[in-house]
A and B are shown apart, each in its own frame.
Chain A
């Protein structure tokens, strides 16, 4: 494993545990944020969000995706509809302005659940994690705990969410996944 990858792994390990020494964060400013993000993607291959807005670039990655069974409202039926709900595991969110890293966050997971109220969208719940954030007074490391947030598909599309990733079996039956994606 290259030394650079070992260093990145160690940095992320410390960040995930909330034990990253903030005094070391200044060294991040010497790095190319775009290169760092590319390196992150090698370790966290599931890219579920990416966008550019103004000088800002942001990306959200997961190490893996798994599916959990969810039971829908059965209404008048004697059977419960079953859904496969995606869970993005071991996530990293990173943002930069230009080529300077502005923030990097680790989260244990992001749970994703569909909703139709008040509009068609997703309920996202981010697991606990830590955010390393660069402010005018320097870098700060803070714990974060996401809540269940209801976000419309329109909002998430504008932010570059990759919905196709949430389709199970997409690698096995790519044509069916593409069809499902169009039906959305």
Chain B
């Protein structure tokens, strides 16, 4: 099963530090939820994970997870 943290891009690493140091804070309420995009294969789930980055900033990790365990479209967002 893919680890979404491996997909975090270098610019987010430069801003938030090594994802290996981020502290997982659980899943956002309502996550995971079925993906609604017409392009999403059946069973795809949209995930919103909560983290605190290396510098203490609260962030969210958004990504799709397919039924085979792979992830796609991983993004770091500020906590809302």
Minimal beta-carbon separation of A154 from chain B (angstroms) = 10
Contact check, A102 vs B70: say whether CB atoms are below 8 A apart.
Answer: no
Query: Within 8 Å of chain B (Cβ to Cβ): is A86?
Result: no
A61-99 CB mask vs B (1 if < 8 Å, else 0) is: 000000000000000000000000000000001010100
Q: Which of B44-67 contact A (CB under 8 A)?
A: 54-55, 62
Minimal beta-carbon separation of A12 from chain B (angstroms) = 15
Query: Within 8 Å of chain B (Cβ to Cβ): is A146?
Result: yes
Contact check, B11 vs A149: say whether CB atoms are below 8 A apart.
Answer: no
Contact check, B14 vs A103: say whether CB atoms are below 8 A apart.
Answer: no
Selected contact of B15 from candidates A54, A133, A147, CB within 8 Å: A147
How many residues of B sit at the interface, in one of the four size bands?
A: 20 to 34
Contact check, A146 vs B15: say whether CB atoms are below 8 A apart.
Answer: yes
Contact check, B18 vs A149: say whether CB atoms are below 8 A apart.
Answer: yes
Q: Which of B24-79 contact A (CB under 8 A)?
A: 54-55, 62, 70-75, 77
Query: Within 8 Å of chain B (Cβ to Cβ): is A53?
Result: yes
Query: Within 8 Å of chain B (Cβ to Cβ): is A151?
Result: yes
Query: Within 8 Å of chain B (Cβ to Cβ): is A178?
Result: no
Minimal beta-carbon separation of B61 from chain A (angstroms) = 13
- Rounded to whole angstroms, the CA-CA distance of A146 and B9 in the bound complex is 13
Chain A residues closer than 8 Å to B75, beta-carbon distance:
133, 135
Chain B residues closer than 8 Å to A126, beta-carbon distance:
11, 14-15
Contact check, B14 vs A147: say whether CB atoms are below 8 A apart.
Answer: yes
Contact check, A54 vs B11: say whether CB atoms are below 8 A apart.
Answer: no
Q: Which of A131-149 contact B (CB under 8 A)?
A: 131, 133, 135-136, 144-147, 149
Minimal beta-carbon separation of B7 from chain A (angstroms) = 6
Contact check, B70 vs A145: say whether CB atoms are below 8 A apart.
Answer: no
Select from chain B the residue with minimum beta-carbon distance to A131.
B11
- Rounded to whole angstroms, the CA-CA distance of A150 and B70 in the bound complex is 28
Chain A residues closer than 8 Å to B13, beta-carbon distance:
149, 151, 159
- Rounded to whole angstroms, the CA-CA distance of A150 and B18 in the bound complex is 8
- Rounded to whole angstroms, the CA-CA distance of A58 and B7 in the bound complex is 10
Contact check, A93 vs B9: say whether CB atoms are below 8 A apart.
Answer: yes
- Asked whether A53 and B6 contact (CB < 8 A) given A97-B73, A126-B11, A147-B55, the answer is yes
Contact sample, A vs B, 22 pairs, CB 8 Å cutoff: A54-B2, A54-B72, A55-B72, A56-B74, A58-B9, A60-B10, A93-B10, A93-B11, A107-B11, A124-B14, A126-B14, A131-B11, A133-B75, A135-B75, A146-B14, A146-B15, A147-B55, A149-B13, A149-B54, A151-B13, A159-B10, A159-B13
